[in-house]
């Protein structure tokens, strides 16, 4: 049998998260690489999943677009938190995590020959899904500026060509922890309107905010009809293994995404869809509490790293902090598990540009685990 000389994903290898988590296990390291919490989500949400399985809800294929209760809960969530209106039947689609939503949006909304604009550093599935869709991407670099990461509006304008079809935006942003401001979103919105572009927004960290306010791009004037809003339950409810995500968009866009999604997985996560309804209906206090807990974990890690002499920015959101090592961060991260028993992610993998100075540490770990990592880091050279 002959294989095509180059496969679409040949350049991608194994995802860094699988690689570094396997290395953490093999070396007995504290894993501050892959972003997943080491504590369970709220008991009522977990119990709701158990009850759904016991009661036979979701054990067989759920409806293609997602169970009606979850689509309604997502629509209610968007109205309650942001004043956005979505019709639960025509404008909400449940997916297998945000990952599937992103893949289906890219596959459904682009054609070969199109271009997609992304901000680097970017979550690793973006470039891979863009390649799967057979399209090209151009990246605009986020750079540290006055304590947070931002972009140059001229660079964004220059990245848009006559072939550009969509912009893929992640706010709050992994790995930098930046929350895009209204002014930054307005720059994106103005360009999207001027060039008639779709914007796909990945908002999975929408509730993990410490400083600043999450503004969905779709709430900016003129953007509701051209924005695809994506989020998921994994981060908000500390259930990254459940893979329940969703897409909200006007019917003409959602239709294209649903067309792809039905042949990727058709459906997924049946009983967990019921449990996420419980999660989305939790009182506001739950959402404040998880952000508070993560804020103190952020401060523990960031203060600890700064105390060890690292150049580290305090992220506004998410569960990641970036240290600037100046150079050779990838080699440093690869040596770290053996040298110190700690795993971090080399941010180089999130860039198209040749930028190898940053390492990303996750702080969604118990305080004693973060303290142990800091203790271990005392013995390494920076
Ligand atoms: N987008 C970003 C920016 C992420 O960090 C993650 C983390 N897993 C995802 C998407 C994927 O979300 P999910 O686990 O819901 O597929
Ligand atoms: N979103 C998480 C991170 O950035 C995990 C991603 C994954 O394992 N695919 O670390």
- Contact between 191 and 160 under an 8 Å Cβ cutoff? The reply is yes
- Contact between 358 and 325 under an 8 Å Cβ cutoff? The reply is yes
Which residues are CB-neighbours of 237 under 8 A, at least 6 positions away?
A: 41, 42, 45, 276, 279
Which residues are CB-neighbours of 122 under 8 A, at least 6 positions away?
A: 139, 168, 170, 350
Note the pLDDT of residue 173. 98
For ligand 2, atom 2: residue with the closest CA: 35
Please report the beta strands in the chain, taking only residues with DSSP state E, as ranges in sequence order.
30-31, 92-95, 115-120, 136-141, 143-145, 148-150, 164-170, 198-202, 227-232, 245-248, 311-312, 320-324, 342-343, 345-346, 358-362
Q: Which residues of the chain have pLDDT under 70?
A: 1-5, 382
18-62 pLDDT, tens per residue?
Answer: 999 999 999 999 999 999 999 999 999 999 999 999 999 999 999
For ligand 1, atom 14: residue with the closest CA: 97
Q: How far is CA 77 from CA 84, 92, 193, 276, in A?
A: 9, 12, 27, 12
- Choose one of 16, 23, 34 to mutate for the ligand 2 pocket test, by most ligand atoms within 8 angstroms of C-beta: 34
State the distance from the centre of ligand 2 to the C-alpha of 222, rounded, in angstroms: 32
Q: Is the peptide bond before 121 cis (omega within 30 degrees of 0)?
A: yes
- Choose one of 34, 204, 236 to mutate for the ligand 1 pocket test, by most ligand atoms within 8 angstroms of C-beta: 204
- Choose one of 33, 177, 240, 315 to mutate for the ligand 2 pocket test, by most ligand atoms within 8 angstroms of C-beta: 240
* Residue whose structure tokens are 């150079």: 327
User: Which residues form ligand 1's pocket by a CB distance below 6 Å?
Assistant: 97-99, 123, 170, 174, 202, 204, 232, 234, 240, 243, 245
Note the pLDDT of residue 249. 98
State the distance from the centre of ligand 1 to the C-alpha of 98, rounded, in angstroms: 6
- Contact between 119 and 173 under an 8 Å Cβ cutoff? The reply is yes
State the distance from the centre of ligand 2 to the C-alpha of 194, rounded, in angstroms: 34
Which residues are CB-neighbours of 35 under 8 A, at least 6 positions away?
A: 174, 240, 318, 319, 320, 362, 364
Q: Is 0.75 topped by the overall pTM?
A: yes
| Whole-number average pLDDT of the chain | 96
For the chain, counts of helices (H) and of strands (E): 13, 15
- Contact between 287 and 266 under an 8 Å Cβ cutoff? The reply is no
Cα separation, 379 vs 158, whole angstroms: 45
Tokens (6 digits) for 185: 């979103």
Write phi, then psi, for 246 (nearest 5 degrees).
-155, 160
Dihedral sign for Cα 85, 90, 91, 97, please. Answer: positive
Q: Of the candidates 379, 373, 278, 378, which has an alpha carbon nearest to the alpha carbon of residue 28?
A: 373
Which residues are CB-neighbours of 1 under 8 A, at least 6 positions away?
A: none
Helices (H), 83-202: 97-109, 125-132, 153-159, 182-195
Note the pLDDT of residue 1. 65
State the distance from the centre of ligand 2 to the C-alpha of 18, rounded, in angstroms: 9
- Closest ligand 2 atom number to CA of residue 204: 1
Q: Of the candidates 239, 181, 241, 170, which has an alpha carbon nearest to the alpha carbon of residue 206?
A: 170
- Contact between 362 and 379 under an 8 Å Cβ cutoff? The reply is no
Write phi, then psi, for 343 (nearest 5 degrees).
-115, 130
Classify residue 151 by its DSSP letter.
Answer: -
Dihedral sign for Cα 114, 221, 190, 319, please. Answer: negative
For ligand 2, atom 4: residue with the closest CA: 35
State the distance from the centre of ligand 2 to the C-alpha of 78, rounded, in angstroms: 24
Cα separation, 117 vs 132, whole angstroms: 15
Of how many residues is the chain composed?
A: 382
State the distance from the centre of ligand 1 to the C-alpha of 60, rounded, in angstroms: 25
- Choose one of 15, 31, 36 to mutate for the ligand 2 pocket test, by most ligand atoms within 8 angstroms of C-beta: 36
- Closest ligand 2 atom number to CA of residue 345: 10
- Contact between 210 and 291 under an 8 Å Cβ cutoff? The reply is yes
């Amino acid at each position: 049998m002959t294989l095509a000389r180059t496969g679409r994903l040949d350049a991608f290898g194994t995802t860094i998260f699988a690689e570094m988590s396997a290395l953490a296990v093999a070396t007995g390291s504290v894993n501050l690489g892959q972003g997943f919490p080491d504590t369970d989500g709220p008991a009522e949400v977990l119990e709701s999943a158990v009850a759904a399985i016991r009661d036979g809800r979701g054990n067989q294929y759920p409806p293609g677009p997602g169970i009606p209760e979850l689509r309604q809960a997502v629509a209610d969530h968007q109205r309650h938190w942001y004043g956005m209106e979505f019709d639960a039947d025509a404008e909400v689609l449940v997916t297998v995590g945000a990952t599937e939503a992103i893949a289906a949006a890219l596959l459904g909304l682009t054609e070969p020959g199109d271009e997609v604009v992304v901000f680097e550093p970017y979550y690793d599935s973006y470039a891979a899904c863009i390649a799967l869709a057979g399209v090209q991407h151009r990246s605009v670099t986020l750079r540290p500026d006055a304590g947070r990461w931002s972009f140059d509006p001229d660079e964004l304008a220059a990245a848009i060509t006559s072939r550009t079809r969509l912009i893929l935006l992640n706010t709050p942003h992994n790995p930098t922890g930046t929350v895009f401001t209204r002014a930054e979103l307005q720059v994106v919105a103005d360009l999207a309107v001027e060039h008639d572009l779709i914007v796909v927004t990945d908002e999975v960290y929408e509730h993990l905010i410490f400083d600043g306010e999450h503004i969905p791009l779709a709430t900016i004037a003129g953007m509701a009809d051209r924005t695809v809003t994506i989020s998921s339950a994994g981060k908000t409810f500390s259930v990254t293994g459940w893979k329940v995500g969703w897409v909200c968009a006007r019917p003409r866009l959602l239709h294209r995404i649903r067309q792809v999604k039905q042949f990727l997985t058709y459906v997924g996560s049946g009983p967990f869809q019921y449990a996420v309804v419980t999660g989305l209906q939790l009182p506001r206090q739950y959402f404040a509490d998880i952000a508070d807990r993560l804020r103190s974990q952020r401060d523990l890690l960031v203060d600890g790293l700064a105390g060890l002499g690292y150049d580290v920015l305090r992220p506004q959101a998410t569960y990641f902090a970036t240290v600037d090592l100046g150079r050779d961060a990838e080699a440093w991260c690869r040596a770290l598990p053996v040298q110190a028993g700690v795993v971090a992610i080399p941010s180089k993998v999130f860039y198209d540009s040749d930028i190898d100075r940053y390492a990303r540490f996750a702080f969604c770990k118990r305080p004693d685990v973060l303290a142990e990592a800091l203790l271990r880091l005392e013995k390494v050279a920076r």
